Copies of this chain bind each other. A is one copy, B any other.
């Protein structure tokens, strides 16, 4: 497994001895689609790195609706502040597909590895990436309306759309399938997109961008 560890950017500069040690304090866990990695409020003993699969992070509002906050893809470090700050998970995480995770005993990791300048720099990099991600979540969900969110999604993910169910897209954009359907119809009527069998053609990307830029 040390080979796998080394391939991860956080550990790429570690020597063999350190890698062996890291191997000792970590293990790989596999998850099935739909299974929960952690619940909001759980405590964290391990630093978790997503090796395979897509992980969805969400909160539940008063009405019981999921509010999707973000997605993690391999190879991301998951919620490292929860370890660093000894806090509880602020949201829940569920696998959207089968997945695999590297779980590292955090206390040992902090003591033996975090002082290493390369690791700490990578850690900063990872936190920084997360902040950018959160800023984007805020920019998207707090300042943009539904139409703008859909337009942004189309421009950024136009290619992937055919593979996704509409109801899934709607959930990711934090709106109902009905609202998504109506917005797509509107954009189609405006001549900005064309709805084909199971694909959405973008006819006027600039037109779409005016909704959110």
User: Shortest CB–CB separation between residue A186 and chain B, in angstroms?
Assistant: 16
- Give the residues in chain B near A90, CB-CB below 8 Å: 135, 139
Q: A interface, by DSSP: helix, strand, loop or mixed?
A: helix
Assess whether B139 is in contact with A141, with CB atoms less than 8 Å apart: no
- A91 and B131 CA atoms in complex are apart in Å by 13
- The docked-state distance in angstroms from the alpha carbon of A131 to that of B132 is 10
Listed stretches A5-13, A79-87, A95-103, A192-200; interface member: A79-87
Q: Which residues of the partner chain B approach A174 to less than 8 Å between Cβ atoms? A: 142
Q: Which of A91, A134, A174 is the most central at the interface, judged by chain B CB atoms within 10 Å of its CB?
A: A134
Is A15 in the interface zone, CB < 8 Å from B?
A: no
- Looking across the interface, which residue of chain B has its beta carbon closest to that of A80? B128
A75 to chain B, nearest CB (A): 19
Known A-B contacts: A115-B117, A137-B142. Give 18 more (CB < 8 A): A59-B143, A61-B144, A62-B144, A62-B145, A69-B142, A81-B132, A84-B124, A87-B132, A90-B135, A117-B120, A120-B120, A120-B121, A124-B127, A127-B127, A130-B131, A131-B131, A131-B134, A134-B138
